[in-house]
């Protein structure tokens, strides 16, 4: 049973944003702290409108809310108590759409990483993860030499 009236629940749900959320802003700040600015946000010309995209380097970051995108953490596995016939299929559809968008991006040559909202509680770990992802991969010139 929902503790809120239908009007109050509706008002709460209307206030939930899809863009420029607190987790997105926190990830942007972390990227700047580790020296990776110059990203573009919410590019409509890319599958899934990634939250951050480095166009020239073909790198994208998605910042997903654990509940809304069905992460396997404590928040993500929590199932809604009300309106389950709507929310459970909705979250399943979000997961299918996310997987499809990531596959399309990778097919087009993009590197993709998903940052989950729960990862923000371990900022040092997340900084390392982002830095590993965003640091240019160097070519080993010895691997390019012909083997004689």
Q: What is the three-class DSSP state of 116? A: strand
Beta strands in the chain (DSSP E): 52-54, 59-64, 111-116
Alpha-carbon span 54 to 133, nearest angstrom = 12
Lowest mean pLDDT segment, chosen from 2-11, 20-29, 118-127: 2-11
What's this model's pTM, rounded to 2 decimal places?
Answer: 0.81
| Segment 72-89, tens digit of pLDDT | 998 888 888 888 898 899
Q: Which candidate, 106, 91, 89, places its Cα nearest to that of 47?
A: 106
Laid out side by side, the sheet with 52-54 consists of 52-54, 59-64, 111-116
Report all structural domains of the chain as residue ranges with CATH numbers, in order of start: 14-129 (3.40.960.10)
- CA-angle at 123, arms to 119 and 125, nearest 5°: 75
When the pLDDT of each residue in the chain is averaged and rounded to a whole number, the result is: 87
Mean pLDDT (whole number) for 43-47: 96
Tokens 């607190």, located at residue:
22
């Amino acid at each position: 049973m929902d503790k809120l009236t239908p009007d109050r629940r509706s008002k709460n749900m209307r206030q939930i944003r899809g863009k420029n959320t607190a987790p997105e802003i926190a990830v942007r700040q972390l990227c700047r702290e580790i020296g990776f600015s110059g990203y573009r946000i919410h590019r409509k010309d890319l599958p899934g409108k990634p939250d951050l995209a480095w166009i020239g380097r073909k790198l994208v970051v998605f910042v997903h809310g654990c509940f809304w995108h069905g992460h396997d953490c404590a928040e993500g596995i929590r199932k809604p108590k009300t309106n389950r016939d709507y929310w459970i299929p909705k979250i399943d559809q979000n997961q299918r759409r996310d997987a499809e968008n990531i596959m399309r991006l990778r097919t087009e040559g993009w590197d993709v990483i998903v940052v989950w909202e729960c990862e923000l509680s371990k900022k040092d770990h997340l900084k390392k993860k982002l830095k590993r992802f965003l640091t240019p991969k160097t070519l080993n010139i010895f691997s390019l030499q012909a083997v004689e």
